[in-house]
Structure 1
Amino acid sequence: MISLPAPRQCLALVCLLLVGALTGVYTSLFSQSWVLVLGVPLLVPLVVLLITHPQSLFLMLLISRCALDPILESSRFSSNVGLGAALNLLVVACAVVWGLQKLSQRQRPAMLLWVAPFAVMVLGTVMAPDTISALKKLVAFLSYGAVFVMGHQLCLDQDQRGLQTLLRVVILSAIVPLTVGMVQYATGNLFLEGRLAATFTHPNIYAFYCLLVVIALLGLQHTEGGDPGIRWALLPLLVASIVLTQTRSAWAALVVAGLLYGLLVSRRVLLWMLVAVSLAAITPAVQDRLMDLLQGNQVVQYAKLNSFAWRQYIWESGLRWMSPSHYWLGYGVGGFKHYSIDFFPMSGGNAFGAHNVYVERFFDGGLLAVSVFAVFIAKQLQKAWQYTRQVRTLGLLYIALIASYLILNFSDNVVDYLAYNWYYWSVAGAFYAMATGTGQGERKAEA
């Protein structure tokens, strides 16, 4: 007599057949892109790691994210959706799982900090002229809050060792971009106008990222167990990369952070800054970028504006176009870019972002959004200032971190640069944990 298979065996067989059928359908649909064919199956072990060890998944995503932009750009199966969106959702899930596993009252400061900004983003998404684009921005913003909370959580779990771990991961993540950048420079395979972009989609993003790694290097140097050898090996390469990106806002932020560090922490840095600025001043690319600001400042027919004058023109055009009835709540997330075709005389039928987060925040979210985000930043600055009374150097570096972010936001669409924001907000979350004492940051980290 023939024996029938057990119910569990039948169920397993059906599941295997179903998986095989779905794999075949998926492969046939996206066979034109090897990234998509391999990308989704690779998400399976990531989901397993999410459930078993979310902390390791967070650090793994962080150490690799800066090298993934070229792959993620090629994986888009529409103008708004791709594997990048899946990574955003994965990092949000990572924060949720990790938070549930480590549920504690000490998590509240980090979570409460993001409640009002997130509520404003949700309101702006409801009012948005382009819902799909706004939802994408909302998920990206949620991922920024997620990495902030996980950077905070890392210091809750490991105290100062958590801060060291995070800073080391950020520094190690720079190896691939720096290597690619050096190869690009040596071979002349540069971005438009000879600017260095490394693994990023634009030189500005690479410059902002390198600036953040510089601050991480200095932070690691002033924590217990910091290795000065790492700093001196990578610091010149990072500074040179910032110069070669030809990103003027990053130059300004680097000078401000360097002056703050030199005047209040180590006067020797001022001497090195003088040498670096002198060398940069005689570099033709730097001279060209600075001289560019002296011409093309008038809006006249057939005249070509320099990049800063162009920015000023689009800011003025957008703010003049705004109706007073929208001063309180704005036009919704993505409103500035959506309506730029209507109000910007030089749009040529193309939509442009504001290249200024403050202007865009007011246009999209009105005085409500500006007020909420002002309080959001002011709260962090307050904690950073209080932290200087406990651990002076790390507190000043936290202030330098925030100051650099504020400077960069003045002339670029920084909130749209997802990779950079992941690194920035994770480091900011770790510093916030130390500054609020939830990471037991009262213990001195320096002699």
Structure 2
Amino acid sequence: MSPGLGGWRTGWLRRGRPGPVFTWRRDRSWARVAAWALGAVVLVFFCLFLGLFSVQLGDLADQRLAFAFLLPMFLAIVFLLFISPRGLLVGILLIRAGTNQVLFEGAQFAGMGGLGGMLNLAVIVLTLAFVAQDPKRVPRPVWMVWVPFVVMQFGGLIHSPDLMPSVRNALANLSSTMLFIAAFYFVDDLKSLHRMLKLLVWCAVPVVGVGIWTVATGQTAGALDDPTSSSAGRYAGPFNHPNIMAFYLVLMIGVVLYLWKATQATSQLLTRMFHVSFMLVMFGLLLATKTRSAWVAAFMMVAMYGVFVERRFLVYLVLAMVAAMAVPEVRERVLALGEGNEVVQYARLNSFAWRKVLWESALTWMGKAQYLAGYGYGSFMKLSTIFFPLAGGREWGAHSVLVQAFFELGVLGLLAWTWLYGRLFMMFSGLWRCSRPLAITAMGQVAMYYVVSASDNMLGYLVFNWYYWFALGAMLRFMLVWQADPVRAGQPVQPVAAAVRRRPVLLQAWRPVRPR
């Protein structure tokens, strides 16, 4: 055989000298040479980029210590992406919430994002890799829950008046959707569902720890430059707004409450004591956030447990309300809704009255031609300085996802948002025969999110949305597995009362007669 590129192997072996034992075929040899050359060029440019970036990063680290973690975090994500994608996603969940204020909020470039944007892209890439490996694991009806709103969001970017910030916000919301899908690749039965919910609880431990430390040291959220109400005395923990902390705590209270009830018969005494004490601490931190809508959501969740699971929870709820109203700051926060409801000169509006002025100004200013598709994604904040008389030259969020969806995406966007939660609520109703506590947790979280979306910027609470949608995705995956095979899912069918099993009279009359 010729010793050229067409066939090396025999020439080297005849002379008895060590050499390459692979064979390059003539029709592919130059393609391989080109591929290796291209890879070498990419590697060289990558090394140059890392070198230059490291020099710039050193200067930035002198200003903010958080920038020193940017390059190590990037390299860790790249390597773990190839070594263990599932482990990478679990690691991202473990560190994201507890280190939000110290690490991620401090490492941001003006107008570009930072570590948080890097993790958003990593979550999107990871989920797409999971889907490419096993696309049938997520059924088509699950995709159709999200597709209308995601399409409307990215379609609204076409005529957005503030494109780059809107693109970043759209990608951030897409990362929440991807976490909902990614949860399908971590749950196969009841045991794995509990494992993922326990993972979320461990993610909440540093958040609660930072919250306790801020309360103990008196580090409130500070003045948020909000003309409607002062944020003094409100605690945000590791987040940049008390509302994010509040809704995060409501989610984790629901998860811990379900784990406590679901594993009460099999768990050890220390585990049950941890569940109860951890919930009590989170309830205390929830009061410290002074977020009234989150208080209402927590009240609704515990009330549903009391009505459908254990009646004693209603007694606990009444006692907790009496104890909470005995706290002067909580009582003042509740009674503040009765003051400042009239718009007069030099009068100070309460937060809800201020929101109503904002919504009325936006909807009155909105032209009828934009009712169908809106002004474009991200247009509310950009145009708020024009239509809002109390703006004071500052851009304001809508403080209502429903108003924001209608203003930015029109009726189509509002319908897509409503379809998302309505469809999920109907899907989770299938859990009622499987596990009543799990059904209440899932359905209650969906209803809570949609209700509080009417008066808050829920789309802007990225960290909360991550854990919220991952939890709902895990629950929905378990429900689909259980509906396909209850034995495999590890949760038997709950016995149904005879009155429920009996077919109604009208259905009995129309039941088809089988031929003998």
Quick one: distance in 1 between partners of 2:455 and 2:347? 21
Matched, 1:39 2:70: yes
Query: Counterpart in 2 of 1:24?
Result: 51
Deviation digits for residues 147-187 of structure 1 (CA, Å, limit 9, x no counterpart): 000112222xx322221121101111111111111121112
Q: Is the 8 A contact 2:145 2:419 kept in 1?
A: no
Quick one: distance in 1 between partners of 2:98 and 2:406? 33
Matched, 1:104 2:136: yes
Quick one: distance in 2 between partners of 1:44 and 1:68? 19
Q: Within 5 A, what are the aligned runs for 1:365-376?
A: 365-376=409-420
Query: Counterpart in 2 of 1:211?
Result: 250
Quick one: distance in 2 between partners of 1:290 and 1:411? 16
Quick one: distance in 2 between partners of 1:105 and 1:64? 27
Q: Within 5 A, what are the aligned runs for 1:140-289?
A: 140-155=172-187, 158-192=188-222, 193-223=232-262, 227-289=271-333
> Does the C-alpha gap of structure 1 residues 88 and 290 become closer, same or farther in structure 2, counting only changes over 3 Å?
same
Greater displacement, 85-94 / 172-181: 172-181
Quick one: distance in 2 between partners of 1:115 and 1:438? 24
How many Å apart are 1:288 and its aligned residue?
A: 1.6
How many Å apart are 1:23 and its aligned residue?
A: 3.4
How many Å apart are 1:113 and its aligned residue?
A: 2.2
- Runs of 4+ aligned structure 1 residues displaced above 6 Å come to 9-17
SS of 2:340's partner is coil
Q: Within 5 A, what are the aligned runs for 1:289-304?
A: 289-304=333-348
**Partner amino acid, structure 2, of 1:254:** A
Quick one: distance in 2 between partners of 1:39 and 1:257? 39
**Partner amino acid, structure 2, of 1:91:** V
How many Å apart are 1:50 and its aligned residue?
A: 2.0
Q: Is the 8 A contact 1:222 1:393 kept in 2?
A: yes
Deviation digits for residues 313-363 of structure 1 (CA, Å, limit 9, x no counterpart): 101110111101111111111111111111100001111011011111111
Larger RCO of the pair (alpha carbons < 8 Å, separation 6+): 1
Greater displacement, 263-272 / 18-27: 18-27
Instruction: Compare CA radii of gyration and give the structure with the larger one.
Output: 2
Greater displacement, 246-255 / 382-391: 382-391
Quick one: distance in 2 between partners of 1:360 and 1:185? 33
Quick one: distance in 1 between partners of 2:141 and 2:272? 33
Matched, 1:314 2:335: no
How many Å apart are 1:437 and its aligned residue?
A: 3.7
Q: Is the 8 A contact 2:104 2:116 kept in 1?
A: yes
Quick one: distance in 1 between partners of 2:134 and 2:483? 14
Quick one: distance in 1 between partners of 2:493 and 2:316? 23
Quick one: distance in 2 between partners of 1:75 and 1:98? 29
Q: Is the 8 A contact 1:114 1:145 kept in 2?
A: yes
Quick one: distance in 2 between partners of 1:126 and 1:439? 41
Structure 2: segments with no counterpart, 5+ residues = 1-19, 21-32, 223-231, 495-516
> Does the C-alpha gap of structure 1 residues 315 and 206 become closer, same or farther in structure 2, counting only changes over 3 Å?
same
Quick one: distance in 1 between partners of 2:485 and 2:473? 13
Quick one: distance in 2 between partners of 1:90 and 1:170? 19
How many Å apart are 1:440 and its aligned residue?
A: 5.1
Say how many residue pairs are matched.
440
Deviation digits for residues 84-134 of structure 1 (CA, Å, limit 9, x no counterpart): 111100001110112223332544333332222111111111121111111
SS of 1:122's partner is helix
> Does the C-alpha gap of structure 1 residues 262 and 80 become closer, same or farther in structure 2, counting only changes over 3 Å?
farther
2:104 to 67, 72, 86: 72
Greater displacement, 378-387 / 78-87: 78-87
1:133 to 165, 170, 188: 165
> Does the C-alpha gap of structure 1 residues 254 and 446 become closer, same or farther in structure 2, counting only changes over 3 Å?
farther
Deviation digits for residues 263-288 of structure 1 (CA, Å, limit 9, x no counterpart): 11111211211121111101111112
Could you state the TM-score of these two structures normalised by the residue count of structure 1?
0.92
> Does the C-alpha gap of structure 1 residues 216 and 105 become closer, same or farther in structure 2, counting only changes over 3 Å?
closer
Q: Within 5 A, what are the aligned runs for 1:321-336?
A: 321-336=365-380
**Partner amino acid, structure 2, of 1:209:** Y
> Does the C-alpha gap of structure 1 residues 429 and 12 become closer, same or farther in structure 2, counting only changes over 3 Å?
closer
Q: Within 5 A, what are the aligned runs for 1:398-409?
A: 398-409=442-453
Matched, 1:396 2:424: no
How many Å apart are 1:446 and its aligned residue?
A: 8.7
Quick one: distance in 1 between partners of 2:474 and 2:184? 4
> Does the C-alpha gap of structure 1 residues 10 and 152 become closer, same or farther in structure 2, counting only changes over 3 Å?
closer
SS of 1:67's partner is coil
Q: Within 5 A, what are the aligned runs for 1:368-447?
A: 368-437=412-481, 442=486, 443=489, 444=491
How many Å apart are 1:411 and its aligned residue?
A: 1.7
> Does the C-alpha gap of structure 1 residues 295 and 80 become closer, same or farther in structure 2, counting only changes over 3 Å?
farther
Quick one: distance in 1 between partners of 2:139 and 2:92? 22
Q: Is the 8 A contact 2:160 2:376 kept in 1?
A: yes
Quick one: distance in 1 between partners of 2:399 and 2:146? 24
Quick one: distance in 2 between partners of 1:290 and 1:222? 31
> Does the C-alpha gap of structure 1 residues 18 and 272 become closer, same or farther in structure 2, counting only changes over 3 Å?
same
How many Å apart are 1:228 and its aligned residue?
A: 2.6
Q: Is the 8 A contact 2:246 2:286 kept in 1?
A: yes
**% of aligned pairs identical?**
30
Quick one: distance in 2 between partners of 1:360 and 1:56? 36
Query: Counterpart in 2 of 1:124?
Result: 156
How many Å apart are 1:21 and its aligned residue?
A: 4.0
Greater displacement, 177-186 / 51-60: 51-60
Quick one: distance in 1 between partners of 2:42 and 2:480? 50
> Does the C-alpha gap of structure 1 residues 241 and 441 become closer, same or farther in structure 2, counting only changes over 3 Å?
farther
**Partner amino acid, structure 2, of 1:141:** N
Could you state the TM-score of these two structures normalised by the residue count of structure 2?
0.80
Q: CA RMSD in A?
A: 2.5
Q: Is the 8 A contact 2:221 2:240 kept in 1?
A: no
Quick one: distance in 2 between partners of 1:118 and 1:399? 22
Q: Which has the higher helix share?
A: 1
> Does the C-alpha gap of structure 1 residues 408 and 161 become closer, same or farther in structure 2, counting only changes over 3 Å?
same
Query: Counterpart in 1 of 2:84?
Result: 53
Quick one: distance in 2 between partners of 1:185 and 1:439? 45
> Does the C-alpha gap of structure 1 residues 323 and 170 become closer, same or farther in structure 2, counting only changes over 3 Å?
same
Quick one: distance in 2 between partners of 1:144 and 1:88? 8
Q: Is the 8 A contact 2:343 2:349 kept in 1?
A: yes
